[in-house]
Structure 1
């Protein structure tokens, strides 16, 4: 969804002339070399730049998508340690990638923090993202066939495939899962449709959990929801399946540096559009990092992923993708798409939500909490203005979110060794 930020920024900038600039604001802004370099690096090079080990792993799903995972097996100074390292699998949100967990840098990015805490970190990348944009037969840049998926397939196919691979390589039977936004949606899908995977999850921390969207306050989502199915069908007819192609990544990087950096005259506009989509919280948003954020996001997604969320919003139900009529019957055996059975989510779930999140509304989180099969805790972030994107980019995310997540994981590890040894 963040990709819309840049497009809107570009529209505003093209249609606007210089206006009321204060001192220090420039049409040719100077971006600090550190920021410029981080914006130019992909995840493997970015992680290694800061002295962390990273290994890329690729696995092919049963339906032919080639997925890339990024593994940070330990912290900077723990390479020779023989200590047991529990596996933590982390999954990104819509239009994002594994970059979410490292782009803010050491001591800020969740992946770095967990690695230093002694965990074996696996960062997933859903099909269609920058790092999982490959198929054994289909071409993502030719027609819409590659993009015939929503977060239903991500939860039903991608997550189980990546989790099995990570467990096998780490020689473990169970792992901890952390997801943000769509990373929570796909987890609920997995445990609903493939309940055997509950047994492979020690704990699940859901950051800004999204299942129901009845009360979401995002104006873009609400406006498009009634037309989402029609839009998806029309896009397929004309052979377009990708939302905001990442082939425009150079444009995004240019926009980040020239329009949204600290000395750029349009930074305020860029920031306000971020807030329009992800919620308003100027206290937590580090504007200096906009060039880095926009060089990594959007990272790729299908139009059907957006359409599926639109259907959930419009129907008021958490259910599978609506292919309409006879197609539903052919795929599901019913005329209407089946509901996801959240009571099947038996893995221990910790819900972490915020009071000002326009996408994971408090009432929708409450509804989700009542239907989960094994809710361990439902915790609101102790900052009333904390919002959707603050879970991954917030200045104080470590103190307000990550430290508590780590405490939960450690408690679950202790109970695991007492009652259910590896």
Structure 2
């Protein structure tokens, strides 16, 4: 799960660092976005070369060569084909008119697995590690792999009547609607396609919220899931660590500001900030230190062993992927108000929507599907105390495991270099057992 704070804080630190060297903000904009055709090179001026970049080994003449791996430029289909599993694209229409994209890596139809990503993410997160990724590892083992995309991300900006670029109403959703409409429609689509009666489910971060909220609101779907594998569930985030905790506490003000400027889509794919980061962060060790060690690790947990310098440019090629303002705020409300509940629209609107001043809780007592929870010792976003609370509230937890690496953080579940060693064996064991 990548928060808005990651991006804003990251860019701020980058600009402050460059400013401290005497570098003005006008040259940075010119240099970052002025590209030569046909390659990952940036034109620079003499001032930049002399005052800022003289120590960088990637400086060659009048250009900066950014080290951007090929996988950063491949889309999901390209990555799947490269690693031996050409994929299919499917589209699922929900009851309220949203159309979401499903990627499918065909395998044994008797063993369908549905994977759901976290906030600001997409299905890409499960494949960008290539042969070490969860999607490819499952496909190699013969499972019928399906990868969903939450409404509003770069793969799922579609509706039967609403235009996401023109109609603000398109963005009037949170993970509540994903759980109530999108996920059930997706599961039924997969079951219809495979001829099965149950699927395996895997969720990362907010991807867990929709599975658990769905089975709380629609208990009949408990029977359609063999086992749900919950990776760093963001259901409870009341003990989230600093500095993200500050943003959680300030979420009402952030919401007010976003509403005031009419900003309903948050961190879409291809935004200026993403383009800036794609140019700055691959600049060798300085870019890695600024973007990852000083910023991202402060939010998710420090672990250079799992998110190495060479891999991060691939991440930036695929995320962030966008979501709605309402979805971001709904997630933050779980931390601020310490409850896993429907969206809090304010007392007056809550009375109209729910017949009460406070939004109702999702009833976890009716979530009877088998759940296996995996947590990280060094996860600063979803800490152990919060995952333990979820474990105690659910009625059918078949496994609760804190992964062995002491520094395992929130992002390592999907991006970790050694996830195939520390996490995947437990996943395969569960899939084989159930």
Q: How does 1:254-265 map to 2 (within 5 A)?
A: 255-256=277-278, 258-261=279-282, 263=284, 265=286
Counterpart of 2:219 (choices 178, 182, 195) is 195
Deviates more, 1:151-160 or 1:9-18: 9-18
Distance 2:410 2:64 in 1: 29
State the Cα distance separating 1:387 from its structure 2 match. Answer: 0.5
* Structure 1 consecutive aligned stretches of length 4 or more whose deviation exceeds 6 Å: none
Residue 262 of structure 1 deviates from its aligned partner by: 6.0
SS at structure 1 position matched to 2:130: coil
Question: Does 1:241 find its partner at 2:297?
Answer: no
38 and 2 in structure 1: CA distance in 2 versus 1, 3 angstrom threshold? farther
Q: Does 1:277 align with 2:299?
A: yes
Is 1:30 the counterpart of 2:65? The answer is yes
Aligned residue for 1:63, secondary structure, equals coil
Q: Secondary structure at the match of 1:125?
A: coil
Within 2, Cα distance between the matches of 1:150 and 1:259? 32
CA drift of 1:163 comes to 0.9
| Cα-to-partner distance string for 1:63-90 (whole Å, 9 max, x where unaligned) | 111100000013xxxxxxxx66400000
Q: Does 1:54 align with 2:79?
A: no
Task: For structure 2, list consecutive stretches of 5 or more residues without a partner in the other structure.
Answer: 22-50
Kindly provide the CA deviation profile for residues 98-149 of structure 1, in whole angstroms up to 9, marking residues without a partner as x: 000111111x110000001110000000000110011112222225311111
Partner of 2:314: 292
Distance 1:232 1:190, change over 3 A: same
Residue 131 (1) aligns with residue 164 (2) = no
1:21–1:265: 8 Å Cα contact kept in structure 2?
no
Unaligned runs of 5+ in 1: 75-82, 413-422
SS in 1 for 2:114: strand
250, 258, 265: which one aligns with 1:227: 250
RMSD: 2.1
Q: More strand by proportion, 1 or 2?
A: 2
Tell me the residue number matched to 1:101.
126
Question: Does the 8 Å contact 1:145/1:241 carry over to 2?
Answer: no
CA distance in 2, matches of 1:214, 1:172: 38
Q: Show the counterpart of 1:416.
A: none
Q: Does 1:366 align with 2:388?
A: yes
2:433 is equivalent to residue 411 of structure 1: yes
- Post-superposition CA distance 1:19-52 (Å, at most 9, x none): 59756354955355xx543222221122123331
Which residue number corresponds to residue 136 of structure 2? Answer: 112
Once the two structures are superposed, the pairs formed by residues 296-375 of structure 1 within 5 Å of their partners are: 296-375=318-397
Q: Is the 8 Å Cα contact of residues 3 and 297 (structure 1) preserved in structure 2?
A: no
Seen in structure 2, the aligned counterparts of structure 1 residues 44 and 123 have a Cα distance that, compared at 3 Å, is: same
CA offset at residue 401 of structure 1?
0.7
Summarize the Cα distance change of 1:292–1:111 in structure 2 as closer, same or farther, 3 Å threshold.
same
TM-score by length of 1: 0.89
Cα contact 2:285–2:309 (8 A) shared by 1: no
Q: Does 1:44 align with 2:77?
A: yes
The aligned counterpart of 1:141 is: 165
What is the aligned residue count? Answer: 398
5 Å-filtered alignment, 1:150-189, equals 150-189=174-213
Deviation of 1:59 after TM superposition, in Å, equals 1.1
Residue of structure 1 equivalent to 2:409:
387
Secondary structure, counterpart of 1:246 in structure 2: coil
Secondary structure of 1:319 counterpart: coil
Measured in 2, the distance between the counterparts of 1:246 and 1:9 equals 17
Structure-1 residue corresponding to 2:104: 71
3-state SS of paired residue (2:323): coil
**Is the CA contact 1:90–1:177 (under 8 Å) kept in the aligned structure 2?**
yes
Q: CA deviation digits over 1:365-386, x for unaligned, max 9?
A: 1111111021101100001110
* Residue-by-residue CA offset, 1:224-277 (whole Å, 9 max, x unaligned): 2233234324533542211123241x7525532x32226263221111212122
TM-score w.r.t. the length of structure 2 is: 0.86
